[in-house]
Every structure is written in C-alpha cells, then in structure tokens.
Amino acid sequence: MVAAHTDVLVDVDDALASDEKQAVQAARTFRDVHVTPVADGIEVRRETAISTIRLASKYGLLGLQVGRTHGGSGLSTVAAARVYEEVAEGCFAHAFSLEVHNNIANLVSRRASQEAQDRWLPRLLSGDAIAAFCMTEPTAGSDAAAIQCKADRAGKDWVLNGEKAWVTNAAGADLFAVWAQTDAAAGWRGIAAFLVDREAEGLTVTDPYQLMGGHAMGTAGILLRDCRVPADDLISAPGEAFKVAMQGITSARIFVSAQCCGILKAGLERAIGYVSERKAFGQLVGSFQGLQWELVNVATQREAARLLAYRAAAAADKNLSATLEAAQAKKFATAAAVSGLVTCMQVMGARGFLIDSTIGRHLAAAKMAEYLDGTSEIQNVVIARSLFGGALD
C-alpha cells in the first residue's frame, strides 16, 4: 500500500526512542519469519500459537512493559501498542496471545511477592512459562464484579473453588492469574487476585472452544476444585484487585485497538493488490471509482482508529486515566475492522471468500475483538458514564 501522507504527518514511530524503534522492527521480523507464514495453517488445523509465542523471547518481545531492572524491555504503552499492531498485521490471534502473556508478566513484576517474582519472572521473560488472565466466568462476563469463583482462607494459604471461562492461552499456559471472590457481601471490594501454577492440584484446563476463528489463542475454560494457593501467591488483595484488573483492561483495550489497525492494514493491502490485477468488463476492477471509494473509506476509518488508539496510549503513558480514551478507541477500531474487512472481502469477489485470501481469518478476529476486554456495548457504558457524569444517578 502506498504510504498515506497522514502516516507522515502523525507518524507514531517518530516519537519513539531508538530502543523502541528497534522493538517495532523486531516485531516486524518476528511476524514475517514466524507468524504470517504459519497463521493460516494454524487456524485451519485449530492449533495454538504457544510455541511461537515462546519464540518471541528471542526477539525481545516478552516482558515488553516489564521494567528493565526486572529484565524486561520497559517499553511505553505507545511502543508496546506499535509492537502488537505489527504482529497483528500477520495474525491478530498471535498478537493477542502475546499481549495477554506480557500483561500478566507486567503484573507479576509489579505486584507479586519477591518469592513469586523469583519463581516466575525469569520463566515468563524467557518464554519457558506462558501466562493467562482469568476473570470471566460462565455466569459473569461484562459484569465482572459478579464473579463467583471463591477464595477461602485455609491457615496462611487460600483455597480456590469455581470455574473460569474464555481464558486466552489456557490450552498451553503454565501460569494463571485468577481473580476470585473472598467475601461475596463485599461485592467488587471482596475480589482478590492469585497466581496459580498449571501443575497445582485441583486445577483442570478444559478442552479449547471451537470458534469462528482465533484458535491460535488456545482459549479454554479452567476448573478450580479445592485448589490450594500459598499466601505468597496472592498478587492483589481484596479492595485493590478489582481496580488492578480494570487498569489492566484499559491497557488491553488500547492494544486491541492497535491490533485492529494492523489487521485492517493487512486486509487493505491484500484487497488493493487483488483489484490492481483483476480485470472485468475490459478494465482493472480497481479502476472503477465506486470500488476505489469503498477502499478509500476503509483507509480513512483506519487512520481515525489509529489516531484514537495512539491518543489513548499517549494518555496512559502520561499516567492520565485513559479509561475514556481507551473505550472510544476500542469501540471505534473494532467496528472499523469488522466493516472494513467485509469491504476488503467484497471487492475481491469470490476470491476474497477463500481461506487462502486470509481476509476471512482477519474478519473473524475483528469480530472476536468486539468481545475481548469488554464488548462494544460496555465501551458505550464507559463513554456514557463520562458523557452524563452523575446527572442520571
């Protein structure tokens, strides 16, 4: 795709430090060597990307936001979002899987006890251990404060009982960050967060879901039956754990927005390449102005999505509350990705509907993105809260 002038005028990469630019370049190489060539096959065979995510350590892509003193890359939110955008251009599911792992590594470096950090952080940074985030349950998704997985005190330890659903990376994860309720009467204030080893007695990973797409993420449920967790593995106490999760979800929404920009770029390039060669009625189909304008609209939507995504990332890097910006960005970018990829598929005629056009894989991922880290309706709830303030309370 020819570089748009808007990329020059608002070039996110210009503002990156040199090590951050290197990380973005490393993400491109990782994508071109290990992600794009295998992504279609992994999807068709319904395999997970876990072994590829482990390889990301060789490119310095594990622990992107873990501080340098802890052995991570210490990247800004903007730079991390650029990395995920680049990887998503090859495969959204690989990018999301990597992002979830990195978000938990970041959490461990900031919140875990020294003993738990020593035990897990080197493994998370080397790719020896892969991490997963467990909030959603079969009966509680959007209303995360309503989770029912129980954490009861047993001496100094905790005992977890319950079920988690829709856990990205679950199929191959070694470490699960589990949010559980310690006191149902306290509502969100009773929720705490724990690190649970896959090998812990009482933890079972269920079969991965059969999905419309995104199998590379290895999404599955977990069952916790009298699963004993040592006191050292409490990573966030009641009263703070729910807020910690919501802060993490704000970053995740920014990253998902950037990833949607990545798949839109891939779709546009594919579609433009095709209509620049395909002829109908004696001329290139790309020369029909009606068709050009369809793709022009997709490109404009992508530019707007990028601006919203990187504005939210910049707000996070200034330690401002980016909750509203992240919600606006995620709602816009996911919708732009769904409608934009439908257009990319349409201009390719039946060819766009073939699996090897890759548009279908990106489109399924865009739809999936409308659920990840809160649905589009929940982004509206956040935006409405800001729009109306307390006026309707």
Structure tokens at 143: 């209303």
CA distances from 370 to 257, 298, 339, 374 (A): 10, 18, 12, 8
Taking phi over 0 as left and psi of -120 to 50 as alpha, with beta for the rest, 289 belongs to alpha
End-to-end Cα spacing for the chain: 49
Sorted by sequence, the CB contacts under 8 Å of residue 104 that are 6+ apart come out as: 124, 131, 132, 133, 175, 177
- Asked if residues 325 and 363 have their Cβ atoms less than 8 Å apart, the reply is no
Minimal distance, residue 166 CB to ligand FAD, in Å: 4
Least Å distance, CB 8 to ligand FAD, is 35
**Toward ligand FAD, which CB reaches closer, 125 or 368?**
368
Residues that bind ligand FAD (CB under 6 A): 100, 133-136, 141-142, 166-168, 214, 217, 219, 368, 371-375, 377-378, 381
Minimum Å gap between C-beta 147 and ligand FAD is 9
212 vs 354, beta carbon nearer ligand FAD: 212
63 or 374: CB nearest ligand FAD? 374
Q: Provide, rounded to whole angstroms, the least separation between the CB of residue 372 and ligand FAD.
A: 6
Nearer Cβ to ligand FAD, position 22 or 376?
A: 376
Report, in Å, the least distance between residue 306 CB and ligand FAD.
23
CB of 389 to ligand FAD, least distance (A): 18
Q: Is 152 helix (H, G, I), strand (E, B) or coil?
A: strand
Residue number with CB closer to ligand FAD (76 or 219): 219
Q: Which is nearer to ligand FAD, 26 or 364 (CB)?
A: 364
| Nearest residue to ligand FAD on Cβ basis | 141
What φ, ψ does residue 372 adopt, rounded to 5°? -60, 135
CA 349 vs CA 119, 264, 286, 344: distances in Å: 53, 18, 12, 9
CB of 165 to ligand FAD, least distance (A): 7
Q: How many helices (H) and strands (E) does the chain have?
A: 12, 10
C-beta of residue 53 within 8 angstroms of C-beta of residue 102: no
CB nearer to ligand FAD: pick between 312 and 378: 378
